[in-house]
Amino acid sequence: MYFIFEIEFSSNKNYITNLICGYAKKVSIEADIIQTKDKIVMIFNQDDEKLETFLLDIENILPASLFLGNAKHYFSEDKPSILPLEEANLPINIAPCPNCQKEMFDVSSRRFYYPFTSCNSCGSQHQFLSKYPYIRANTTMKFLVPCLACEKEKADNSLRKDYPLISCIECGIGLRMLNTETEYMALNKGDYHNLFKVSTGAISKGKTVLMKTMHGYRKFFYPNHNSDGIEKMKFGTSKVDLGLNTLAPNLGKSTKDSIGLSTLLMVSTSGFNQHLMLVEQEFNALMSIERPLLRVATKSDVMKKLYGSSALVKYPDDGMTMLLAAEAVKHGLEYMAYIECSSDEQADFLVDFDMPINTQKDTKLFINQDKKFFISGERIIYPSLVESEKDRVTVAHGLACVSVDEKQIIDSYNLFNSVFTSELYVLDTEGFDSGHPNEKQFEQYKASMLSVLAEHGKVGKKAIGVHFDGTLNFLYYNGKQVINAVPAIPFESDNLWEKISTLRDGSDRLVNNYKKVYPDVWERLDNLEGNMDIFEVTAITLGLENESFEGISAEAVSFLGKGGLQIDTKVKDNRFDNYAFLTSIMSYQLGDVANNFMCYSIYESFGDYIGELVPQLCDKVESNIVVLTGKTFANQSLYGRIQKTLGVKNPLMSKNFPIGKENAAHGALYL
């Protein structure tokens, strides 16, 4: 008799499965552990005396994950025959697992306060990869020779069996803390601990710390010390005793940090309920081992003063940030903030290490009740193993799909050696000069739609698509190619007032009235430069601090009412007209409509427009398959409206790839 335990797992990543396999070997329990496309299956002999203990321990060794779902168990007289998911040895980029965290905070461990602690199933691995295949010789750690203890562990520890990046304080990466006058090197456990202790102490006293993390340079600060700008802090007046050395914080004047544009780092779970309005799904996502970025509504007065109605929130996501947060809790902090920046950003202290790393764009997650999807980014998602029978390489947004050891992998194209391929598909805006004789260019919206259809097994079937990424387009897939059936009227931000004044009768009077009431905004819009999208221009019109789609979304969150204004979305032929849209907003603005009500109404109006046009297109082509792509859909107001107007058609969206532009390298495989 067999005992079968199944856990839902909606990802093709295998780190949870590897963690279970490693622990099973550690406790010497016999089990078949198989990952399929939607679950992890564990098959045991029912009479195994270690079974009960193993299942109880699983709760402690398994981290929370975005992809884990419900579990169930059953008995079977016959051993199930299950087709496993194809596997590949790919480096991951997630937070340390519970076992590695335990080592980092165990003073008896060789990895006490060692921020590069990881194992086969967790941690920052992708950052050290130089090229494929993923072996130590192809990483920047190839220059570090493992100590005897690490070599032994590499052979005996099932969780680090043959682990390419194995290291500890004795043989690993060194840290240093410095200012313009003094440098402090961390050489042992006490040094490492002291470095993070002093860093957090400085932050708690109003200083800034520029730290090289596994995700690039981040400038950390405590936002409460000055909500009007970090530049007002007084520097160079105090000294910090590190035990071995003394540093005077004096890296020069700080550049202005916009707190509203920073990421809120919650260092303690005790502060979540006090400062943020979280639903259970959001809390679980932030605490997951994947550690995504999440836009969350603020709750406390202090947080509303700092960030407004919502903030981009993160829980510590790598060893450096995790150790900094642990010390912050000891200093009584519940949160701090950081901005992503370059290595030459000015700060009071610099914490650095000499090992070069590859950074990935952080990944934003969208949650609406039981639905969640990635908005944009690379971390968590890439590298990704995909299926393709074509001898084709695709390139888009710095990513490429390349065959390595007969497996198709999507990752940064800088990590692949030269390859032979019959055809090369390159995004038309990429600027990638290959010299390949069979190079073809493709448009973003085509690849995005096909990426979603491929994930849902709908390639070859007729479908209607809506691509909304700054510009709104309605698409038709006839089973062979994607056609832009209802393209948006092109938007050009230069000569804006001339285009608005000639839109329709009376538009010239609107322009004159607007110039009188909002002269500063009028002048700003009259001198726009560059290729700006409609959301940037709208944010400028409304006077938002964050002049982007994100800024409008954040403002919309603060509206707590129901029912919005009707904002013009089309003029003729059902095509979206950017100028009519902007004219409508200006008219309401002259009528003293509040910004949050306006921003909410923007997305509600888009939802109504899409909900009206898509069914017409579906009827015309006789298909009920609807695909939504583009990061603009990651808005609570718009998504909720779409669910109301199109919910009966169950629109398809990306599952394992971003709904934004980063899914193009995948979708191009099906062009």
Q: Per-residue DSSP letters for 435-488? A: --TTEEEE-HHHHHHHHHHHHTT-TTS-EEEEEESSSEEEEEE-SS-EEEEEPP
Contact call for residues 291 and 317 (beta carbons, < 8 A): yes
Confidence (pLDDT) at 569: 67
Quick one: 72 and 103 in the same domain?
Answer: no
- Interatomic CA distance for residues 154 and 379, integer angstroms: 26
Q: Write out pLDDT tens, residues 55-83.
A: 888 888 899 999 999 999 999 999 988 88
Q: Which of 91-95, 295-299, 570-574 has the highest mean pLDDT?
A: 91-95
Total length of the chain? 671
Q: What are the counts of helices (DSSP H) followed by strands (DSSP E) for the chain? A: 19, 28
Confidence (pLDDT) at 491: 82
Please give the mean pLDDT across all residues of the chain. 89
Contact call for residues 663 and 654 (beta carbons, < 8 A): yes
Work out how many domains the chain is built from and give that number.
4
Main-chain dihedrals φ then ψ at residue 87, nearest 5 degrees: -115, 155
Contact call for residues 115 and 322 (beta carbons, < 8 A): yes
Residue 37 has pLDDT above 60, yes or no: yes
- Beta-bridge partner residues of 339: 219
Contact call for residues 216 and 205 (beta carbons, < 8 A): no
Average the pLDDT over 105-121 and give the result: 97
Confidence (pLDDT) at 249: 38
Q: Write out pLDDT tens, residues 255-288.
A: 344 687 899 999 999 899 999 999 999 999 999 9
Quick one: 18 and 131 in the same domain?
Answer: no
Confidence (pLDDT) at 152: 97
Q: Tokens 């990466």 — which residue? A: 173
Domain assignment present for 363: no
Domain assignment present for 667: no
Q: Write out pLDDT tens, residues 156-179.
A: 999 999 999 999 999 999 999 987
- Interatomic CA distance for residues 90 and 462, integer angstroms: 35
Q: Write out pLDDT tens, residues 193-219.
A: 999 999 999 999 999 999 999 999 999
Q: Write out pLDDT tens, residues 353-380.
A: 999 999 999 999 999 988 999 999 999 9
> Among candidates 404, 397, 431, which has minimal Cα distance to 418?
404
Residues 14, 19, 21: CA angle, nearest 5 degrees: 95
Q: What is this structure's pTM?
A: 0.89
Exposed, middle or buried, 101 (CB in 10 Å: 0-12/13-18/19+)? middle
- Interatomic CA distance for residues 121 and 500, integer angstroms: 56
Domain assignment present for 184: yes
Confidence (pLDDT) at 48: 85
Contacts by 280-287, CB closer than 8 A, 24 or more apart: 281/367, 281/369, 281/370, 281/372, 282/367, 284/64, 285/66, 285/365, 285/367, 285/372, 286/313, 286/314, 286/315, 287/64, 287/315
Residue 229 has pLDDT above 60, yes or no: no
Domain assignment present for 11: yes
Average the pLDDT over 608-624 and give the result: 94
Q: What is the CATH number of the domain that holds 23?
A: 3.30.70.260
Contact call for residues 192 and 175 (beta carbons, < 8 A): yes
Ranges of beta strands (E only) in 457-596 are 463-468, 472-477, 482-486
Quick one: 225 and 344 in the same domain?
Answer: yes
Domain assignment present for 137: yes
Quick one: 199 and 140 in the same domain?
Answer: no
Confidence (pLDDT) at 553: 83
- 463-468/626-629 β-pairing: parallel
User: Domain end: 10, 41, 76, which one?
Assistant: 76
Residues 6+ apart with CB under 8 A from 157: 26
Residue 412 has pLDDT above 90, yes or no: yes
- Interatomic CA distance for residues 319 and 400, integer angstroms: 28
Confidence (pLDDT) at 650: 95
**Tally of CB atoms within 10 A around 98:** 15
- Interatomic CA distance for residues 165 and 114, integer angstroms: 13
User: Domain end: 322, 337, 352, which one?
Assistant: 352
Which DSSP helix (H) or strand (E) runs through 429?
none
Q: What is the CATH number of the domain that holds 232?
A: 3.90.870.10
Residue 316 has pLDDT above 90, yes or no: yes
- Interatomic CA distance for residues 295 and 261, integer angstroms: 12
Confidence (pLDDT) at 236: 30
Using a pLDDT cut of 70, give the percent of the chain over it.
Answer: 94
Confidence (pLDDT) at 242: 43
Phi/psi-derived region of residue 95, left when phi > 0, alpha when psi is between -120 and 50, beta in every other case? beta
- Interatomic CA distance for residues 448 and 453, integer angstroms: 9
Alpha helices in 1-121 (DSSP H): 15-26, 51-61, 98-104
Helix (H, G, I), strand (E, B) or coil at 175: strand
Helix (H, G, I), strand (E, B) or coil at 368: strand
> Among candidates 32, 41, 35, 29, which has minimal Cα distance to 74?
41
Residue 496 has pLDDT above 60, yes or no: yes
> Among candidates 95, 137, 612, which has minimal Cα distance to 315?
95
Quick one: 124 and 234 in the same domain?
Answer: no
Quick one: 154 and 187 in the same domain?
Answer: no
Residue environment code for 257-272, b if the CB has 16+ CB neighbours within 10 A, otherwise e: bebbebbbbbbeeebb
Domain assignment present for 347: yes
Quick one: 619 and 508 in the same domain?
Answer: yes
Measure the CA dihedral 605/611/617/620, to 10°. Answer: -130
Indicate the pLDDT class of residue 392, thresholds 50, 70 and 90.
very high
Which DSSP helix (H) or strand (E) runs through 39?
strand 39-45
Average the pLDDT over 466-479 and give the result: 93
Domain assignment present for 192: yes
More confidently predicted of 395 and 434: 395
User: Domain end: 304, 330, 352, which one?
Assistant: 352
Residue 486 has pLDDT above 70, yes or no: yes
CA distances for 208 relative to 68, 176, 245, 350, angstroms: 37, 16, 19, 9
Confidence (pLDDT) at 247: 38
Confidence (pLDDT) at 571: 53
Confidence (pLDDT) at 506: 84
Quick one: 343 and 472 in the same domain?
Answer: no
Residues 13, 15, 20: CA angle, nearest 5 degrees: 130
Q: Tell me the two tokens of residue 307.
A: 């960030």
Quick one: 588 and 542 in the same domain?
Answer: yes
Quick one: 121 and 215 in the same domain?
Answer: no
**Tally of CB atoms within 10 A around 381:** 25
Confidence (pLDDT) at 85: 86
> Among candidates 241, 244, 260, 291, which has minimal Cα distance to 92?
291
Q: What is the CATH number of the domain that holds 597?
A: 3.30.420.40
Q: Write out pLDDT tens, residues 241-258.
A: 443 333 333 333 343 446
Residue 520 has pLDDT above 80, yes or no: yes
Quick one: 633 and 560 in the same domain?
Answer: yes
Residues 6+ apart with CB under 8 A from 197: 327, 330
Average the pLDDT over 416-445 and give the result: 91
Contact call for residues 93 and 360 (beta carbons, < 8 A): yes
Domain assignment present for 227: yes
> Among candidates 498, 145, 504, 197, which has minimal Cα distance to 349?
197
CA distances for 28 relative to 24, 25, 155, 333, 433, angstroms: 6, 5, 16, 42, 53
Confidence (pLDDT) at 256: 42
Q: Where in the sequence is the domain holding 493, given as residue range(s)?
A: 459-651
Quick one: 156 and 207 in the same domain?
Answer: no
